[in-house]
């Protein structure tokens, strides 16, 4: 994401913030197949709170004590950093321009906060089975969207979780929108994206981040001790439909349908990496692993869908780019990359 203070491989082969103790943990449903486990909450926007290998730490950054989940959203609600994984509706510059319940945000073309009815509201439990769950948001008076989320462990792929989102236009008028997956992980996570050329990358603000691009793979550089903190966003047109992240003895690979540049809203990238990292404060900040589905003009009542396939694997190698890429190459066929 871009905060208000900012401008906008193919392979060659938990943050804790001060908060009332009463809100220490969100109510949640557990999906567990003995290999991986996940927690999904109906409150706080139908949010995915955790995903990890059995016995390993949560791969996601989450703060379940960030706010009061019993407080219903309204037109003046601000962002509450529960983190974890959530789904937004893009593009960001149009978040508040299609509504009249907060005229000040509409007039300012506010790029923050995200839609409270999709990010903060309690979702309705549609269906729950041992290995899957379906949740519905309320119909939002901000974006005009009703969002259905489906999380499911994958039969025959014990290390995988499928995330699906269906966005329905309930605004009564034509709506140009996209589905936007946003996954928060700790700031010291290593991230990789298949990218063909430097021309397929832009950074905002200019020069805020550093990356390495070689052999068709982009890696987001982490600040070294003594270097200035980094805060900004990288927009990428990927060369194929995946991104990967490494931390705490685990490798997370997120796969999605690769789209041509023309399908993605020009303000966005199909893959976006927001980095807020300081080597001197490794427990602060975050990294966001983001994916945009195509920008679509939805007629009243029409829906669009998008999905991600997450696979998490044990990783016991060194924390280096070369070792990470060698690991991904070894598992490319297994993952269908």
pLDDT for position 3: 57
pLDDT band at 2 (very low <50, low <70, confident <90, very high): low
pLDDT at 26 over 60: yes
Task: Give DSSP secondary structure letters for 27-72.
Answer: --EEEE-SSEEEEE-SHHHH-EEEEEETTS--SS-B-TTSS-TTSP
Task: Report residue 251 CA to chain centroid gap.
Answer: 16
Banded pLDDT at 11 (limits 50, 70, 90): very low
| Per-residue pLDDT at 17 | 38
* Mean pLDDT for the chain overall: 94
CA dihedral over 290, 275, 7, 118, signed as positive or negative:
positive
pLDDT at 8: 37
Residues in Cβ contact with 37 at an 8 Å cutoff, skipping those fewer than 6 apart: 30, 31, 50, 51, 52, 54
pLDDT tens figures, 164-218 = 999 999 999 999 999 999 999 999 999 999 999 999 999 999 999 999 999 999 9
Instruction: Name the β-bridge partners of 49.
Output: none
Let me know: does 57 contact 312? Beta carbons within 8 Å: no
Please check the confidence at residue 4 and state whether its pLDDT lies above 70: no
Per-residue pLDDT reduced to its tens digit, 305-335:
999 999 999 999 999 999 999 999 999 999 9
SS3 326: helix
- How confident is the model over 101-122, as a mean pLDDT? 98
């Amino acid at each position: 994401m871009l905060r208000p203070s900012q401008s906008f491989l193919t392979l060659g082969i938990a943050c804790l913030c001060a908060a009332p103790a009463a809100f220490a943990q969100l109510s949640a449903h557990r999906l567990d197949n003995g290999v991986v486990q996940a927690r999904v909450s109906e409150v706080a926007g139908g949010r995915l709170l955790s995903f990890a290998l059995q016995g390993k730490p949560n791969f996601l950054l989450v703060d379940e004590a960030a706010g009061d989940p019993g407080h219903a959203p309204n037109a003046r609600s601000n962002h509450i950093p529960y983190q974890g994984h959530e789904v937004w509706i893009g593009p960001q510059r149009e978040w508040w321009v299609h509504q009249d319940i907060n005229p000040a945000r509409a007039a300012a073309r506010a790029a923050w906060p995200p839609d409270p009815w999709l990010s903060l509201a309690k979702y309705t439990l549609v269906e729950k089975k041992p290995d899957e769950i379906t949740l519905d948001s309320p119909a939002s008076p901000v974006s005009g969207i009703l969002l259905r989320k489906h999380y499911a462990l994958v039969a025959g792929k014990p290390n995988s979780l499928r995330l699906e989102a269906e966005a329905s236009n309930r605004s009564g008028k034509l709506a140009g929108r996209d589905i936007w997956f946003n996954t928060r992980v700790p700031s010291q996570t290593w991230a990789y994206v298949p990218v063909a050329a430097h021309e397929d990358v832009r950074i905002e603000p200019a020069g805020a981040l550093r990356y390495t691009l070689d052999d068709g793979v982009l890696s987001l550089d982490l600040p070294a001790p003594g270097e200035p903190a980094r805060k900004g966003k990288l927009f990428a047109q990927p060369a194929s439909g995946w991104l990967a992240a490494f931390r705490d003895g685990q490798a997370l690979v997120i796969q999605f349908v690769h789209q041509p540049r023309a399908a993605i809203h020009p303000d966005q990238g199909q893959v976006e990496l927001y980095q807020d990292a300081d080597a001197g404060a490794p427990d602060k900040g975050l990294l966001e692993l983001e994916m945009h589905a195509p920008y679509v003009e939805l007629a009243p009542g029409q829906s669009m869908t998008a999905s991600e396939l997450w696979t998490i694997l044990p990783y016991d190698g060194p924390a280096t780019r070369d070792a990470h890429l060698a690991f991904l190459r070894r598992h490319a066929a297994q993952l269908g990359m």
